[in-house]
Amino acid sequence: MRRLLVLGATGSIGTTALKALREGLMPDCQLVGLVGHSNVKAVEMLAEEFSCPFFINSDGAPLQDFIESVSPDITLNGIAGHDGLPASLATLSAGSVLALANKESVVMGGSFLFDEARRLGRRIIPVDSEHSAIYHLVQDHQDVEHLVITASGGPFLDRKDLDSVTPDEAANHPTWKMGRKISIDSSTLANKGLEVIEAGFLFNMPADRIEVTIHRQSIVHSMIRLSNGAVYAQLSPPDMTLPIVAAVNDGHAALHDVVRPLSFKDLALTFQDWDRQQFPLLALAYQVLEKKEGWPIAYNAADEVAVAAFCQGRIRYTQIAGLVGRVLDADWSGTAHSLEEVLAVDRAARKEAERCLASL
Ligand code: NDP
Ligand code: MG
Contact yes or no for 98/122 (Cβ under 8 A): yes
Contact yes or no for 29/1 (Cβ under 8 A): yes
**Cα dihedral angle (26, 30, 31, 33), rounded to 10 degrees?**
-150
Return the closest-CA partner of residue 232 out of 125, 103, 143.
Answer: 143
**pLDDT at site 209:** 98
Q: Judge whether 256 lies within some domain.
A: no
Rg of the chain over CA atoms, in angstroms? Answer: 20
Whether the pLDDT of residue 61 is over 80: the answer is no
**pLDDT at site 16:** 98
Q: What is the 3-state secondary structure (H, E, C) of 316-347?
A: CHHHHHHHHHHHHCCCCCCCCCCHHHHHHHHH
Q: Judge whether 142 lies within some domain.
A: yes
Global model pTM greater than 0.95: yes
The total of other beta-carbon atoms located within 10 Å of residue 174's CB is 16
**Tens digits of per-residue pLDDT, 159-190?**
989 999 999 999 999 898 899 999 999 999 99
Beta strands of the chain (E only): which ranges?
2-7, 29-36, 54-56, 74-77, 97-100, 124-126, 144-151, 210-214, 220-226, 231-235
Beta bridge pairs of residue 147? 210, 224
Ligand 1 and 32: CB distance under 6 A: no
Q: Judge whether 268 lies within some domain.
A: yes
**pLDDT at site 113:** 98
Which parts of 128-279 fold into alpha helices (H)? 129-140, 167-170, 180-188, 190-202, 241-249
Domain co-membership, 27 together with 101: yes
**pLDDT at site 59:** 76
Buried b (16+ CB within 10 A) or exposed e, 89-128: bbbbebebbbbbbbbbbbbbbbebbeebbeeeebebbbbb
Q: What is the mean pLDDT of residues 2-11?
A: 98
Instruction: Map residue 259 onto helix, strand or coil.
Output: coil
Domain co-membership, 85 together with 12: yes
**pLDDT at site 162:** 96
Q: What is the mean pLDDT of residues 150-154?
A: 97
Nearest ligand (C-alpha, residue 173): 1
Kindly give the distance from the C-alpha atom of residue 355 to the centroid of ligand 2, in angstroms, as a whole number: 30
Kindly give the distance from the C-alpha atom of residue 143 to the centroid of ligand 1, in angstroms, as a whole number: 35
**pLDDT at site 2:** 98
Domain co-membership, 22 together with 152: no
Domain co-membership, 140 together with 284: yes
Whether the pLDDT of residue 281 is over 80: the answer is yes
Domain co-membership, 211 together with 286: yes
Whether the pLDDT of residue 44 is over 90: the answer is yes
Domain co-membership, 184 together with 280: yes
Residue-number span of the structural domain to which 322 is assigned: 293-360
Ligand 1 and 178: CB distance under 6 A: yes
Ligand 1 and 128: CB distance under 6 A: yes
Domain co-membership, 141 together with 281: yes
Burial of 7 (0-12, 13-18, 19+ CB in 10 A): buried
Q: Judge whether 257 lies within some domain.
A: no
**What percentage of the chain carries pLDDT values higher than 90?**
97
Lowest mean pLDDT among 8-22, 59-73, 326-340: 59-73
**Tens digits of per-residue pLDDT, 63-110?**
999 999 999 999 999 999 999 999 999 999 999 999 999 999 999 999
Cα–Cα distances in Å, from 133 out to 18, 138, 176?
Answer: 21, 9, 16
Q: Judge whether 304 lies within some domain.
A: yes
Domain count, the chain: 3
Whether the pLDDT of residue 360 is over 90: the answer is no
Q: Judge whether 336 lies within some domain.
A: yes
